[in-house]
Amino acid sequence: MKEILRIVVRNIGKITGAILAFFIALMIAIFGLLKTIFIILCVLLGYYIGTLFDDGVSLKKTIKDIMNLFRPDQWR
């Protein structure tokens, strides 16, 4: 048992990558490529917003700053 745990700890990146690849392949098989990409992008966006929230950044100010990037100068 200790030997198996040592192998898992030593190769945690490989194991995590294999599990992640399996779930992505499963999602592509079930939902299709475009829906899978959309789901992954939504998860990454949620992770980013959660990171901002955890860091104490004002979510309202961040959204306002992002929207200002796309607005023409005469609307500011």
Q: Are 52 and 75 found together in one domain?
A: yes
| Residues 39 and 26 occupy one common structural domain | no
> What is the residue-level pLDDT of the chain in tens, covering all 76 positions?
889 999 989 999 999 999 999 999 999 999 999 999 999 999 998 888 888 888 888 878 878 877 887 877 755 5
Residues 42 and 25 in one domain: no
37 plus 58 within the same structural domain: yes
**Co-location of 66 and 40 in the same domain:** yes
Answer yes or no: do 21 and 38 share one domain. no
- In this structure, the number of other CB atoms found within 10 A of the CB of residue 48 comes to 11
In this structure, what token pair is assigned to residue 61?
């100010």
pLDDT at 19 (0 to 100): 93
Mark whether 24 and 42 lie in a shared domain: no
Q: Which amino acid is at 51?
A: T
State which residues form the domain around 8: 1-31
pLDDT at residue 65 in the model:
77
Q: Given this model, what pLDDT does residue 36 score?
A: 94
Output the pTM of the full model.
0.64
pLDDT at 70: 80
40 closest CA partner among 10, 31, 7, 9: 31
